[in-house]
Amino acid sequence: MKFYLIAGERSGDLHGGNLIKQLKQREPSAQFRGFGGDYMREAGMEEVVHYRELAFMGFAEVVANLRTISKKIELCKRDILTYKPEVIILIDYAGFNMRIAKFARKNGLRVFWYISPKVWAWNQNRAVNLKANVDRMFAILPFEKDFFKKFDWDIDYVGNPVLDAIKAHTVNPAFKSRLTADVEKKIIALLPGSRRQELKKIIPLMSGVAARLPEYQFVVAAVSNLGRDLYRDLQHLPNVTFVNDASYDLLSVAQAAVVTSGTATLETALFRVPQVVVYKTSGLTYSIAKLLIKVPFISLVNLVANREVVKEMIQQDASVQGVAAELTKILKDERYRHAMLAGYDEIIRILDTGSASDNTARLMLDYVKK
């Protein structure tokens, strides 16, 4: 049984790797090839293109790199036809994968989509195209099942793989002692994201916040395949240290966090670390997004809870003064902190439906065999 998988960013690579492991456990002879990253390759996938060659975000950034993206899409199409998989598994990454889904349908190939693209956030009519080109959709957020019902499409809600990954993580007991000589000093995690465009906007903000709060130890969750020059603004500060590819260990010891909007907001909540969510992008991308976005929140934490659990500071609102004030409130106002943690507990109860990776692997194999 041959599967072709496509993930275009770090979180998709992580969850794709866990899915491959579960598919192999249930179907040991299965073969895997596709676009992904280190996690998927280590799980047993033959990698054609690494996701770092595809990690463009925002309207302006995507437009500027259309030629590169188009070349990768054509490469992907040719490779799929050569490989002849039983199933193509698309993992999030909507812009690229929607084109591949349409191509697959035209060529009579079966398509499964794991981690639904966020069509509920903007341009909701894209759900019609998804339904037309995808055989089975496996969603990881509970409200997505009801959303797609509006388009007369019954999809599978499988639970959330972020919770799986956190449950499976083993914390290094010596991690905290390596971060600071002063073990009593409160640690604030800085999670700037994994895309170059994100870091260029967020790192100067995080640097200003760390400089404004010298009494705390700030630890940056850096990504090893990104150049250290992107973190330049933080490197000279005496209360800032770096860890590479260790965000879960960092969250296990942090008392608060500043997090760029994305999957990391949910990861931070599931580790029960109070956070402030920040987001900055180009002026053009932000102006377009304001016109198109159809949901009241940008963080997964607030979207799952369907209310404000964490403060979101976007674009001009993401100021050094504002973020520093929110962190101080999180760390010193016990009532405020406990209210946020209670919101996290509510989210955990909503999402904890067993192993998403195992649920998805079981359903996928059942559908293939039918």
Q: Which pLDDT score, from 0 to 100, does residue 289 have?
A: 58
- In our burial notation (b when 16+ CB lie closer than 10 A, e otherwise), range 59-79 reads bbbeeeeeeebeebbeebeeb
Please determine, for residue 118, whether its predicted confidence score (pLDDT) is greater than 90: no
Q: Which pLDDT score, from 0 to 100, does residue 56 have?
A: 56
| Rounded Cα–Cα distance for residues 136 and 155 (Å) | 7
Please determine, for residue 263, whether its predicted confidence score (pLDDT) is greater than 80: yes
pLDDT tens digit string along 357-368? 999 999 999 999
pLDDT tens digit string along 7-17? 998 889 989 99
pLDDT tens digit string along 59-92? 545 555 667 778 999 999 999 999 999 999 999 9
What DSSP string runs through 247-286? HHHHHHH-SEEEEESSHHHHHHHHTT--EEEEE---HHHH
Q: Which pLDDT score, from 0 to 100, does residue 64 have?
A: 56
Q: Which strand (E) or helix (H) includes residue 226? A: none
Confidence of residue 165 (pLDDT cuts 50, 70, 90): confident
pLDDT tens digit string along 197-221? 788 889 999 999 999 999 999 999 9
Q: Which strand (E) or helix (H) includes residue 229? A: none
Please determine, for residue 58, whether its predicted confidence score (pLDDT) is greater than 70: no
Do residues 332 and 256 touch, judged by C-beta distance below 8 A? no
Q: Which pLDDT score, from 0 to 100, does residue 352 have?
A: 87
| Rounded Cα–Cα distance for residues 210 and 37 (Å) | 31
pLDDT tens digit string along 273-303? 999 999 987 566 655 555 556 667 889 999 9
Q: What is the mean pLDDT of residues 34-53?
A: 95
Phi, psi of 33 (to 5 degrees): -150, 155
Q: Which pLDDT score, from 0 to 100, does residue 281 have?
A: 75
What single letter denotes the amino acid at residue 327? L
Q: Which pLDDT score, from 0 to 100, does residue 70 have?
A: 85
Please classify residue 366 by burial: count the beta carbons closer than 10 Å to its beta carbon, then call 0-12 exposed, 13-18 middle and 19+ buried. Answer: exposed
Tell me the domains of the chain and their CATH numbers. 2-159+353-369 (3.40.50.2000), 168-351 (3.40.50.2000)
pLDDT tens digit string along 168-202? 889 888 887 777 656 678 999 999 988 777 888 89
Q: Which pLDDT score, from 0 to 100, does residue 164 have?
A: 86
Listed ranges 106-115, 171-180, 349-358; the one with the highest mean pLDDT: 106-115
